[in-house]
Amino acid sequence: MTRNSYRKCFLLLIVFVLYAGLVAVGVYHHEPWFDEAQAWLLGRDSRPLELIQVHLRYEGSPGLWHFILSLVAKAGLPYAGMNILGALFAWIGVLIFLVYAPFPLFIKILYPFSYFVLYQYAVIARSYVLLPGVLFLAAALYPKRQQRPFLYALILALLANISLHGLIMAFCFATTDFVAFLYHHKTLNTAAKKRYVAAFGIVLMAGLFAVWQLRFPTDHAAVHPKQDYSLAFALRFTTHFLSNALTERYILSACIVAVSLWHFWKTRVLSLFLGPVLLTGHLFAFVYSSPWHEGILFLLWIFCLWISFTKDGRDSGRQGWNRPLVQAGLVVVLGIHISWAYTAYTNDYKHTYSAARQVAEHLKSQRAQSPSIFATGFHSIAILPYFERNIFANYHQRYAAAFWDWSRRNTLQQDLELMVLDGPDTIVHGIKTRFNTAAPSLPGYTSRKFTGYIFWKNRVFEEDSYIVYEKIEFKPRLTPAPPRWYNASTSRDSFPR
């Protein structure tokens, strides 16, 4: 190695250490919210076969992340182990990028500190923390996928079981390669053909397994059908989502995407980008989308740039004005993402992301004086990972698992006035709104608000707060009575297994 190579490696090592340290500090100060808690509780409170057969159908996601969390939870690790595990996967993803990505040094320095890489898919522990590492492993192996088809197929199989979006990307990548195989199969020998077909079969079986996990239940209680199913609406929604994933400035994003598309076409990577973008965009438009899904399109863009830069570097004849423009656009995008990362990271460091941890600590301190606890709102489930079991008397009578049941069997009461009639000692009222909400008064109860905020990029997305009502001068019950509206169908025997 030359002196410049040593300097480059040393600089990248400093970048990685700095990134790892920032993520570790961010994880330490982060308070997990409902989406993180739900995955942990699913892994902790359900058997693996039960998780795959029953519960993942209601989550809309394959179970790779949940299965990993199940192993961690059942091994006895505390709730904080989930975020530590998420940070570990984030570190692996950045390490793969720094070692194998074909980008210039200044791009490698900027990328780890971008918004989704440093914060949204690192500090916040969801299944998406697995995406960068698996996706970039596929990118690193892409030039040698014909020589090592089984390893490449295994990576795509993992990608397909991370999320529905990963399934779409794995399907598009495998289909593109299979079409190329059909076009060039006459030039391959018999052994190569058998290896390729077997590898494609691995991806196909993994994809079918993911689809089987995602089979939609007829009694799902959180379906919000779209009103417009036109192609024009889907395209408008996709372009809007892609713009937000890059810069949130439509004209600037459009210019960057246009240059990228030209570069992808010149390097024969266009199908790897357009296929997943269009299918994912239709998923976002017609089924379900949240702002944090924007990072999927950002990572897909980085993945395709990785592949195109690898091809472009092998053929100097293809290098032209498009590559410097693509690099300039990449720097602009990363610069904007770094500003988002700084704002979100510092907000999470200084303020409360979710008030669930504070409420859990308060309930533990009052537990001896408050044997009967009721709750409202699905995101109150974020409090339960801090306890060994479900503590809410009005949620499946404490007998069932603590994770949220998205089926119509769930009869959690949402009306505070009706709850007061049952006289619980404590009521935890969840608040999920984009505005600061005052605590409504309840006769016979004192109230205390625990405030949290979901930080998104450079702003607050919504509140994640709780109001805890405590009965004035109550006498503890030895056995909490069931609520008046309790339905026997929510008992432990009827809970899905």
Could you give the CA distance from residue 164 to residue 60 in angstroms, rounded to a whole number?
7
Q: How far is CA 293 from the centre of its chain?
A: 7
Residue 422: inside a domain = yes
pLDDT of the residue at 495 = 33
348-385 residue pLDDT tens: 999 999 999 999 999 988 765 567 899 998 899 999 99
**pLDDT at residue 322, rounded to an integer:** 81
| pLDDT value for 494 | 37
Name the CA radius of gyration of the chain, rounded: 25
Residue 436 and residue 420: Cα distance in Å, rounded?
Answer: 24
pLDDT of residue 492: 34
Q: Which domain holds residue 380?
A: 356-494
Q: Is residue 479 part of a domain?
A: yes
The burial of 439, by beta-carbon neighbours within 10 Å (0-12 exposed, 13-18 middle, 19 or more buried), is given as middle
| pLDDT for res 473 | 67
Kind of pairing, strands 459-463 and 453-456? antiparallel
412 occurs within a structural domain? yes
In a domain, residue 381? The reply is yes
Position 227 in a domain: no
Which regions of the chain are under pLDDT 70? 1, 222-228, 312-320, 367-370, 397-400, 413, 434-437, 473-497
- How many separate domains does the chain show? 1
User: Within a domain: residue 453?
Assistant: yes
Residue by residue, what is the 3-state secondary structure of the chain? CCHHHHHHHHHHHHHHHHHHHHHHHHHHHCCCCHHHHHHHHHHHHCCHHHHHHHHHHHHCCCCHHHHHHHHHHHCCCCCHHHHHHHHHHHHHHHHHHHHHCCCCHHHHHHHHHCHHHHHHCCCCCCHHHHHHHHHHHHHHHHHHCCCCHHHHHHHHHHHHCCCHHHHHHHHHHHHHHHHHHHHHHHHCCHHHHHHHHHHHHHHHHHHHHHHHHCCCCCCECCCCCCCCCCHHHHHHHHHHHHHHHHCCCHHHHHHHHHHHHHHHHHCCCHHHHHHHHHHHHHHHHHCCCCHHHHHHHHHHHHHHHHHHHHHHHHCHHHCCCHHHHHHHHHHHHHHHHHHHHHHHHHHHHHCCCCCHHHHHHHHHHHHHHCCCEEEECHHHHHHHHHCCCCCCCCCHHHCCCCCCCCECCCCCCCCHHHHHHHCCCEEEEEECCCCCCCCCCCCCEEEEEECCEEEECCEEEEECEEEEEEECCCCCCCCCCCCCCCCHHHCHHHCCC
Evaluate whether residue 262 is within a structural domain.
no
The answer to whether residue 297 is domain-embedded is no
